[in-house]
Structure formats: structure tokens, C-alpha cells
A = this chain, B = another copy of it.
Amino acid sequence: LATRDQLLEAAAIEIQRVGFDDATIEAITKAAGVTPGALYFHFRSKEAIAQTLIERQHQTIREAAHEIQQQVNAPSLVVMMMMCDELARGLIDEPLVRAGIRLTIDRSTFGSRAGDPYRDWLVTFTDLAGRAESAGETTGALPPDVLAHFIVPAFAGVQLLSDTLTRRTDLLLRVHEMWQVLILAVVPGARQESMFSAARRVFAQPS
């Protein structure tokens, strides 16, 4: 029902704002305009809401990634950039994404499930890195899985610092800078310039 979605959105906003522990049921229900009873009709517990939120965001990102890979006919490296860009923009203005990430990082609450989104990204990026290497976009000095195992956490860290220090106002800039380093590290000299300009196009500010 519509109430369920209202609750999820209210929960996302609240969780993204104050974190899971400090997001009270009262605040969520009040924001959604319903009563606690209604909430516990749709969700078994507070954790169940968070789980749903995580899954939804997880799935949202997967779909976006899938779409990008499908629709766009671009170098694998550029696909990676677009995925980073997509996620970064979501982190700036979509409560669902923000809440999902917050829940993934403040792992106080969830056991092993918390790492799932990371694992997902790792396999996707490992795959893309492999294709990039095959396409000659990278020098091959670094194995694809090593590269993926660096890009994903690097992005996570950039996002984390940007959030802590500037409330993500400089996020796009920092992600752009991150890709400049990556291009310098893995793209053959001859193709670096075109990659730089591709990056500039991807991370151009307007939403």
C-alpha cells in the first residue's frame, strides 16, 4: 500500500539524518503521518525496515548499473565512471541511497549482510576491469581484481570523507579527482588524454 512506501521514505530520511539507532519509531511514524501500529503492521521490527531499505537501495543501484552497461556503448572505464557518478549523485540528493549507505557503514546493527553491497560492486568492477584490460584501455600492470579492490574502497572513502568534512558538497569534485589518479595509474599514456576528457564530461556538475 501507499502507507508502506510513505513509511519507507520517512524512515530513509530519518535514518540518513540521524542514523539507525537514533531514528525513533515515533519520529518515523510522525513524519509518515501514521501511528506505530500501522508501522508494525507492515514491518515486523525496526530492523526489518532497515533491511528493506538496504535491499531497495541495493536493487536500485543494480538496476541503474545494468541500464548503464546496457544502453551505453562506451569504454568499460567510462562505464565505471558513470556508475560512480550515478551513485555519487544519489548520495547527494536521494534519501534512499543516503540511508542505504549510512546503514551499510554504521554497521553496528547488522551482522554479515552489511558487506553484500560492497561484494556486489567488487564483482561488477572486477568484471569491468577485465574488459577494460582486454580492450586495451588499461596497461594491465594491475590485475583486474586488484584494481577493483582498490576502486571500490577508494570511492567509499572519498564519499565518507566528503560527507564528514563538507556534507558531500564537494563529492563530485573529489570523485573526479579520484578518477584522474586512476587514469594516471592504469591508462596507457596515449589514451590518457581522451579518458581525462571523458571523465570531465561524466562528472560535469549539472544534474
Copies of this chain present in the complex amount to 4
Q: Are B185 and A181 in contact (CB under 8 A)?
A: yes
Separation of A18 and B164 alpha carbons in the complex (Å):
21
Q: Are B165 and A158 in contact (CB under 8 A)?
A: no
- Interface SS majority for chain A: helix
| 16 additional A-B residue pairs with CB within 8 Å, beyond A21-B108, A150-B178, A181-B182 | A19-B106, A19-B108, A104-B164, A105-B106, A105-B160, A106-B106, A115-B164, A118-B165, A152-B157, A153-B158, A153-B160, A154-B157, A181-B185, A182-B185, A184-B184, A184-B186
B-binding residues in A (CB < 8 A): 18-19, 21-22, 104-108, 114-115, 118-119, 141-142, 146-147, 149-150, 152-162, 164-165, 174, 177-178, 180-182, 184-186
